[in-house]
Structure 1
Amino acid sequence: MADTPATTASVSGRTRGMGELIDIAGKVTEIAPFGHTLAALASERPEIVGLTADMGRYSDILPFRDAHPTRFFNVGMAEQNLIMTAAGLAKTGKIAYCTTYSVFITRRAYDFVALACAHSMANVKIFAGMPGLVNGYGATHQATEDLNMMRGIADLTIIDPCDATELKQVVRAVADIPGTVYVRNLRGKVPVELGPDYVFEVGKAKVLRPGREVGIISAGYMTARALDAAKAAKDRGVDAGVLHVGTIKPFDAKSVIEFAKRFDRVIVAENHKTSGGLASLVVEALYDAGIVKPMIKIGLVDSFFECGSQEYLEAKYGVDTPRFLRAIVDGQ
């Protein structure tokens, strides 16, 4: 039985909340897959606790709170306290799932994640909400460099799920991944993009579309953009393959190399700056393997970004589906 009820992309009387992905007509979504799956998992695992830094509504942890109120902790707007409390609970044998905005975790509590959590191999599972351009509140709330920052922490697992299907599997999987895990959380109405046969495996990239001419290597919800664009490009006579890199660290360099070898040119796409994230990892892997390929990077420039809707921001900064199509079909 599914942890989260599926629904169509349009829900009567409900507007898109802060940090929800763009509604795409005809696509199936699931509401708060993180919180509902965590609530179900906690019913099976009494050692699980949940924490937030006064962002329960906007991190989707409220289903857990409602199901397990004595195991839920709101530390207030104090991200360093959030991480330290989670680390302390982990030392008593708990598995601590903690949530707030990704930008606050990385910029305000970095040292605490590194030392109190990762250095101690603490069972802290960080679900960092609204990474990249999902948040419309501008530079103060947009974590466009979080992968670059978190990659530098040793013994930290980093996961960037594509959709509701993968996110639900990740919620369950991280309980048994040793040490601290950083997950780029998807919230609100999260699209269902991957098929029922998809299986998340930590550290393993997955070929979602074989293709013949152009290879797209993507992470996070940008994989959904890649799949949509690849389908549209097929109608224009270009057959594009898609490799989804759900785990950023440990990075599956072997699968990336094998995938890239099959194509004359490669596109790398991420909801992150093109320096320090997925694109940098792909370039490093190909260089180490002695492979040189024409490459287009779809991602964010090294800048701060303005306020606006996700639709507006993606179009302005060149990470929307039309940008993918230009890269696939025209090679630009």
Structure 2
Amino acid sequence: MTTAAPPSTREVYRDLMAELLPRDPRLVCLDTDTGLFNGVDFGAGADRYLNLGIAEATLMSAAASLAKAGRVPVVNTMAAFAAARALESVKIDIALGNLPVRIAATHSGVSAGHLGPTHHALEDLAVMRTLPNMTVVVPGDAATTADLFRQSLDLPGPVYLRLGRNSVPDLPEGPPVLLGRAQWLRRGTDIALAACGPHPVQAAVAAAEQLAEEGISASVLHVHTVKPLDVAALMEAAGDSRTVVTVEEHWRTAGFGAAVAEALSELAPARVMRVAMPDAFVPVAGGQEYLLARGGVTAGAVAARARTALGRRRRDAR
């Protein structure tokens, strides 16, 4: 008997929209011919689903107008287009006015790896976290996607919800997921592993298990909210070792790891070592796991970075 694969974060979001749109008259779902909602029955909310076609800048401007009229628009497009093609409209029409638009950005990272670098989104966290008023959310699995999306609906300003294309495994059980608070998946004493996104969090969990076999105790933080960043949890996780290894499906430049380094350098000087995609376009097409492994975003790389950090600190202490 085969077990069904767990859903992708975008599929969870789709099903939740189908549930919420008929019940919440504030919501308007705006699409860009993504095909995500093909065959979905919105029931009483059907007149609040609008497909604007492949027009991402228009999508953002229309959503801003609806938000000004008291609605809570949820827009759907690929992450590569939300963070690049439509950026001016996101900045000027949405973020500047602090409007309650939810940007559901699918195919993030290299989850659309088969389509090549034009459809990779390895810059979007850097772009979106620099915009004033923007909340940036990167759920780690299906359950956290549903919880965080529901929690985001009552926020007063814009939200960038980073979603993937492919099936993702469930995360280990942890405390309830709260928007703006990192989720502790494991508590350790030697080093902190902080990750955002499904595959990076899975890599951090697997790395912590590898390190435990070697007598190294690692904390694992699922940092699903990149902005605002839970700096208090990061400081606590860094602990006596004052070392954090970050893991992300993003270019190394200006992403999640950079946000952690910025925060800790000001408030709690600590060593931050980043595991991320190299500063280069991915020149090949391929599956998500293959491209992440090719870029060095793996459990083995996380464990190796942790060993290096701890080894160097021990030599420095002599």
In the alignment, is residue 87 of structure 1 matched against residue 64 of structure 2? yes
Partner of residue 228 from structure 1, selected from 206, 215, 219: 206
Q: Which SS does the other structure have where 2:193 is aligned?
A: strand
Q: Which SS does the other structure have where 1:98 is aligned?
A: strand
Give, in angstroms, the shift of residue 9 of structure 1.
Answer: 4.9
Match of 1:33 in 2: 12
In the alignment, is residue 214 of structure 1 matched against residue 171 of structure 2? no
Distance of 1:198 and 1:285 partners within structure 2 = 24
Partner of residue 251 from structure 2, selected from 273, 295, 310: 273
Give, in angstroms, the shift of residue 138 of structure 1.
Answer: 2.0
Distance of 2:234 and 2:274 partners within structure 1 = 15
1:191 to 1:66, Cα distance in 2 relative to 1, 3 A: farther
CA contact (8 A) 2:249 2:292 kept: no
CA contact (8 A) 1:34 1:187 kept: no
CA contact (8 A) 2:243 2:270 kept: no
For 1:150-177, what per-residue CA distance to the aligned partner results, in whole angstroms no more than 9, with x for missing partners?
Answer: 1221111111111111100122111101
In the alignment, is residue 50 of structure 1 matched against residue 57 of structure 2? no
CA contact (8 A) 1:165 1:194 kept: no
Give, in angstroms, the shift of residue 126 of structure 1.
Answer: 0.4
Match of 1:296 in 2: 273
Comparing 143-152 and 257-266, the one that deviates more? 257-266
Partner of residue 177 from structure 2, selected from 174, 196, 200: 200
Q: Which SS does the other structure have where 1:44 is aligned?
A: coil
Distance of 1:144 and 1:210 partners within structure 2 = 29
Q: Superposition pairs for residues 125-164 of structure 1, below 5 Å?
A: 125-136=102-113, 137-164=115-142
Q: State the one-letter code of the partner of 2:70.
A: G
Unaligned 5+ residue runs, structure 2? 312-318
CA contact (8 A) 2:111 2:166 kept: no
1:325 to 1:296, Cα distance in 2 relative to 1, 3 A: same
Distance of 1:36 and 1:47 partners within structure 2 = 18
Give, in angstroms, the shift of residue 210 of structure 1.
Answer: 0.2
Which structure dedicates a bigger proportion of its chain to helix? 2
Give, in angstroms, the shift of residue 64 of structure 1.
Answer: 5.5
Q: Which SS does the other structure have where 1:192 is aligned?
A: coil
Partner of residue 52 from structure 2, selected from 75, 85, 89: 75
In the alignment, is residue 99 of structure 1 matched against residue 76 of structure 2? yes
For 1:183-202, what per-residue CA distance to the aligned partner results, in whole angstroms no more than 9, with x for missing partners?
Answer: 1013453422142x642322
Unaligned 5+ residue runs, structure 1? 1-6, 11-27
1:272 to 1:104, Cα distance in 2 relative to 1, 3 A: same
In the alignment, is residue 118 of structure 1 matched against residue 87 of structure 2? no
Q: Which SS does the other structure have where 2:47 is aligned?
A: helix
In the alignment, is residue 312 of structure 1 matched against residue 276 of structure 2? no
Q: TM-score, normalised by structure 2?
A: 0.88
Q: TM-score, normalised by structure 1?
A: 0.84
Distance of 1:275 and 1:55 partners within structure 2 = 29
Q: Which SS does the other structure have where 2:249 is aligned?
A: strand
For 1:210-247, what per-residue CA distance to the aligned partner results, in whole angstroms no more than 9, with x for missing partners?
Answer: 01222101111111221122223323433221112111
Q: Which runs of 4+ in 1 moved over 6 A?
A: none
CA contact (8 A) 1:38 1:64 kept: no
CA contact (8 A) 1:211 1:241 kept: yes
1:190 to 1:45, Cα distance in 2 relative to 1, 3 A: farther
Match of 1:19 in 2: none
Distance of 1:246 and 1:63 partners within structure 2 = 30
Distance of 2:266 and 2:16 partners within structure 1 = 39
Distance of 2:257 and 2:265 partners within structure 1 = 12
CA contact (8 A) 2:8 2:164 kept: no
1:36 to 1:291, Cα distance in 2 relative to 1, 3 A: same
Give, in angstroms, the shift of residue 29 of structure 1.
Answer: 4.6
RMSD between aligned residues = 2.2
CA contact (8 A) 1:273 1:299 kept: yes
Distance of 1:329 and 1:292 partners within structure 2 = 16
1:44 to 1:299, Cα distance in 2 relative to 1, 3 A: same
Give, in angstroms, the shift of residue 145 of structure 1.
Answer: 0.9
State percent identity of aligned pairs: 31
In the alignment of these two chains, the number of paired residues is: 304
Give, in angstroms, the shift of residue 30 of structure 1.
Answer: 6.3
1:290 to 1:179, Cα distance in 2 relative to 1, 3 A: closer
